[in-house]
Structure 1
Amino acid sequence: MFNDLEKMRKRHSNLSKLSMAFFYAIAVSIALNFFWQPGKIYSSGVTGAAQVIASLSEKIHIPLTTPILYFALNIPLFILAWFKIGHHFTAFTFLAVLFSTLMMHLMPGVHITNDPIVCAIFGGLINGMGTGMALKNNISTGGLDIIGIIIRKKTGRSMGSINIFFNLIIILAAGFVFGWVHALYSAMGIFINGRVIDMVYTSHQRLQVMIITNQPKKVINEIQHSMRRGITIVHDAEGAFKHEEKTILFTVISRYEMHDLSDAMSKSDPYAFVSITESFKIMGHFYEPKVE
């Protein structure tokens, strides 16, 4: 019975990841063919690098398209992900990149506007949403996502900020080759793309939680049952209003676990005082679910 349930869970997880891979493929294709290409906006990461190389190849009359270059530039990153992250993760990353390559090539461009500001904003929004949803389902869209995940494990920095840092190179390349006006609009689009990724993909954002309760055992048991988080206990605290004995609990969670924490508190002590603040940096061990 347990094995059957586990098989069903894995099948559901794989179908969810496959659907997110296809969702990203549609998102990046719309961003590229509807907005970036008409507005001469350069995207972030490997997609942007592929655009720059494709534009350069046009000048020297070599027929290299953005979709083909996008796939080719991802090949060495597949190898890196295979050894550094995981085989299952790499397989779905490959599918996401393959779907994206096909959709970029097959989806016809629709002329909406040539306004570079509008193209930068909507291209960044759509691609950021697709990338964030893919990462949220533990699959990568290739390119800088793979590098970003590896660096995030080492440094704890957010995916969006890593994305923006590496894309400075693309902005500079676009500026030198195609003009600084389009480089400026591309920078705006990349910034929007990075911020949307951080809004959607929240599991890397750390929050410090302080709980003041007179039911510490119930709260600790419920949190540790529903969330794999360590808790620090401060005994003998006193409330100033009624001079009641309290216990203070400290823990750190990801923003993605906010709903789980809320459920745990409502079940264990709905009258507890809970304060949640964003943590700038975490030093020491912080458990992260393994990316598979």
Structure 2
Amino acid sequence: MHDIQTYIEKHQYAGRIGTAFIYAIMVSIALNFFWTPGHIYSSGFTGLSQLFDSLSKGIFGFNIPVYVFYFVFNLPLIVMAWRKIGHRFAIFTMIAVILASTMIRLINTPTALTHDPLIDAIFGGLVNGFATGLALRNGISTGGLDIIGILIRKRTGMRMGVVNMTFNAFIMIAAGLVFGWQFAFYSAIGVFVNAKVIDMVYTRQQKMQIMIITDRPKTVVDSIQNHLRRGITIVHGAEGAYKHDDKAVLFTVISQYEQFEAREALTEADPHAFMSMWRIERTVGNFYEPKL
């Protein structure tokens, strides 16, 4: 059993490293192929690094590249992640940050793909949002606001995209004051697209309430709890209006990415049961989330 667990963990680690590599390539494409040619500022610490890159020559007398600022700004956040979130999470975040800094340096385009800043903002946001959501979904972060967002979400229940947009407001304002409001507004569009795509891909923080009507409550409860680590509330004494037979109503809350496991568990336990799902904004109380 120990050998099997070790084998699974090694494959999970390999998958996370692969995801970090994919993220690094995609963020470098978003930055070098779309945002930089279109004078668009990204979200998070990538946008902050772009801002400092633009200002560095006037401040220091020489230009400091984006990838240098990106790495330096993320170091204290990785230390925070080590202390507050988890050691493995921090390690894989460090790997993602190092790979991203490297790929931003290596992957570049000699000519701009387009000179339309709106296209640059939208497609840069799409590529980066998908990359960030994919990384978070696989238990790693891209550093910066992702770490801050996870810590705030654990305390307040706010969704990642909302946290991301809130913290990015000052980057847009700074870009507008320094480089012109036209590009600040385009950058805001890119940040909005980026946040929406993150929420679409990273569904761990999106919660769903499930209601199940069944005449086999014990079997269904056992099946769901074998598949998912979720508490379930049972309401006895319900009655079906068509046949007037006895029913039980079950309630539980899951993360959206667990919905397929919930369906599978219900199909195994009672294929004739009725289940409805709907998204909820937030929960108050003890909602279990697997460690990152």
Please state which band the TM-score falls in when normalised by the shorter chain: over 0.9
Post-superposition offset of 1:265:
0.9
Post-superposition offset of 1:59:
4.0
Deviation readout 1:19-76 (Å, 9 max, x if unpaired)? 0111110010000000000000000000000001111123454221111111111111
Give the Cα separation in 2 of the matches to 1:220 and 1:134: 32
In the alignment, what sits opposite 1:71?
71
Q: How does 1:66-105 map to 2 (within 5 A)?
A: 66-105=66-105
In the alignment, what sits opposite 2:17?
18
Deviation readout 1:138-165 (Å, 9 max, x if unpaired)? 0011110111111111111111111111
Does the CA-based 8 Å contact 2:29-2:108 persist in structure 1? Answer: no
Q: How does 1:89-238 map to 2 (within 5 A)?
A: 89-109=89-109, 110-238=111-239
Would you identify which runs of 4 or more consecutive aligned residues in structure 1 move more than 3 Å? 58-61
Structure 2 letter corresponding to 1:139: I
Secondary structure of 2:204's aligned partner:
coil
Give the Cα separation in 2 of the matches to 1:156 and 1:132: 17
In the alignment, what sits opposite 1:54?
53
Post-superposition offset of 1:173:
0.7
Give the Cα separation in 1 of the matches to 2:28 and 2:259: 33
Secondary structure of 1:285's aligned partner:
coil
Post-superposition offset of 1:275:
1.1
Give the Cα separation in 2 of the matches to 1:63 and 1:167: 23
In the alignment, what sits opposite 1:266?
267
Post-superposition offset of 1:169:
1.0
Q: How does 1:233-244 map to 2 (within 5 A)?
A: 233-244=234-245
Secondary structure of 1:38's aligned partner:
coil
Deviating more after overlay: 181-190 vs 60-69: 60-69
Deviating more after overlay: 25-34 vs 269-278: 269-278
Give the Cα separation in 1 of the matches to 2:32 and 2:103: 10
Give the Cα separation in 2 of the matches to 1:203 and 1:271: 28
Structure 2 letter corresponding to 1:175: G
Give the Cα separation in 2 of the matches to 1:204 and 1:57: 37
Structure 2 letter corresponding to 1:86: G
Give the Cα separation in 2 of the matches to 1:149 and 1:228: 21
Relative to the length of structure 2, the TM-score reads 0.97
Give the Cα separation in 2 of the matches to 1:8 and 1:218: 32
Give the Cα separation in 2 of the matches to 1:198 and 1:117: 21
Q: How does 1:243-258 map to 2 (within 5 A)?
A: 243-258=244-259
Structure 2 letter corresponding to 1:258: Q
Post-superposition offset of 1:268:
0.7
Post-superposition offset of 1:88:
1.3
Post-superposition offset of 1:78:
1.3
Does the CA-based 8 Å contact 2:43-2:164 persist in structure 1? Answer: yes
Structure 1 letter corresponding to 2:62: I
Give the Cα separation in 2 of the matches to 1:175 and 1:63: 21
Count of aligned positions:
290
Root mean square deviation, CA, Å: 0.9
Give the Cα separation in 1 of the matches to 2:174 and 2:112: 26
Secondary structure of 1:284's aligned partner:
coil
Unaligned runs of 5+ in 2: none
Whether 1:6 and 2:22 are equivalent positions in the alignment is no
